[in-house]
Amino acid sequence: MTRKLLVTVDSLRYDHFRHFPATREYLEFEHDRAFSTFPETFGSFPAIVGGEYALQRGLKDGTSVARRVDGRKVGLTTNHLLSPKYGYDDAFDHFESPSASEEGIAGFVSDKLELGSTPYKVAAAAWNQIERARSKVVKLGKSFRRADDVIETFFEQTEGHDDWFGWLHFMEPHHPYDPHSAPVSRDYANRVSRKAISHRVNDEEADLVRELYRRECEELDIELRRLWENIPEDTEVVFLSDHGELLGEDGVWGHPGLLHPLLHHVPLATRNVDWEFGDVASLIDVPSMLVGEEHGLGRENRDVAFALYGDRRAAMNRDGIVNYDPSEDDPYSARDLLGNDAAMDDDLKDALEAFDVDGGITRYDADEETLAELGYLE
């Protein structure tokens, strides 16, 4: 019998994996230097599911790891960007994701308006007024599909099957942060989270937003305990985050397409997985871990990981990150893994110069993203 499980958590920082005690107790191995290939969901999953860098919109045809595993294949995602629109249902027997065709202001904003433009800001403000008015007459629920519902559906869909592959993607703790245990109302939690993303919080509000994010992590771990307690002991599990989250560092909140070490350094942990890890791991290696041999560009014993966003590039090793931005007078810069300026690592710079990937995408290529649902509206 073969059981394999890929669990992905949206926007989980490496340093907040400590708030997942049940998950860490269950998993056997944690890598302390795992890196995302992209600072946002849209470009991370071509690597996580397909073993490829994000050079086009969505998953490249024929690359899904689901094509290379046996048994019933169940995919349950909670992010509009991980939908059939972008090819993520390929080879799955049962696949669920949120609709990417919402109507109204949210759909118009995401489909037609450039992020940050004046028309975008006007539409965003209108959407916020609608949401605030609605919150006065209806009780707001969680912003995204709840983790307990995802887990319940997974067990229903795999019941009676000896062989299966599951991919479960959880949106906690993606913004807006609105945990059940919040010390404020869900409406206020939503509003102050969105306010942080637009860089308008004071110190007290900033502390609250960080607390809300932490509580999202803690609550997800509680829900995941049921998953760990009920899957077979021999299940091969890979657990990871698609990218990190900025909580005010460098004056920035969320994950706005920066090649920042706190967005790329992510949790990666496994159970019952036979894989030779090197000094670092890249999320482009995940499909290979799941199938037990090379898939796409994945490989064992890695000592450098790479990331991209449009025409920008980054290379990461155990000590830090080197960035390349062709728009700057001096295109190369270096930081440590906490985001502090660092001396240039010439070997890492050489590796980045040799990184040969043409093109690259950005969030703007996700032309049907419903930004209101994903928390990008102010």
The first and second tokens of residue 49, run together, are: 């599911």
Task: Give the Cα separation of 372 and 128 in Å (integer).
Answer: 9
| 64-73, 235-244, 319-328, 360-369: least confidently modelled range | 360-369
- What integer pLDDT is reported at residue 186 of this predicted model? 93
Residue pair 268/23 in contact (Cβ under 8 Å)? The answer is no
pLDDT tens per residue across span 184-200: 999 999 999 999 998 89
Its domain, for residue 70, covers 3-374
pLDDT over 90, % of the chain: 79
Residue pair 305/322 in contact (Cβ under 8 Å)? The answer is no
Stretch 266-277: mean pLDDT? 97
Going by pLDDT thresholds of 50, 70 and 90, the confidence category of residue 118 is low
Q: What CATH number has the domain bearing residue 332?
A: 3.40.720.10
Residue pair 102/37 in contact (Cβ under 8 Å)? The answer is no
Whether the predicted pLDDT of 105 surpasses 50: no
- What integer pLDDT is reported at residue 122 of this predicted model? 60
Stretch 259-266: mean pLDDT? 97
Task: Give the Cα separation of 217 and 94 in Å (integer).
Answer: 27
Count Cα atoms within 13 angstroms, Cβ side, for 44.
Answer: 28
Nearest of 200, 166, 4 to residue 93 by alpha carbon:
166
Task: Give the Cα separation of 227 and 178 in Å (integer).
Answer: 22
Count Cα atoms within 13 angstroms, Cβ side, for 68.
Answer: 18
Going by pLDDT thresholds of 50, 70 and 90, the confidence category of residue 295 is very high
Task: Give the Cα separation of 150 and 169 in Å (integer).
Answer: 8
The first and second tokens of residue 159, run together, are: 């019941």
- What integer pLDDT is reported at residue 358 of this predicted model? 79
CA distances from 112 to 28, 76, 119, 256, 355 (A): 46, 28, 10, 19, 34
Going by pLDDT thresholds of 50, 70 and 90, the confidence category of residue 363 is confident
Whether the predicted pLDDT of 113 surpasses 70: no
Task: Give the Cα separation of 56 and 43 in Å (integer).
Answer: 9
Task: Give the Cα separation of 302 and 271 in Å (integer).
Answer: 19
Cβ neighbours of residue 140 under 8 Å, at least 6 residues apart?
134, 178, 186, 187, 190
Whether the predicted pLDDT of 53 surpasses 80: yes
pLDDT tens per residue across span 316-330: 999 999 999 999 999
| 133-137, 231-235, 273-277, 332-336: least confidently modelled range | 133-137
Whether the predicted pLDDT of 299 surpasses 70: yes
In the chain, the number of structural domains is 1
Nearest of 210, 143, 212 to residue 171 by alpha carbon:
143
Average pLDDT, the chain: 89
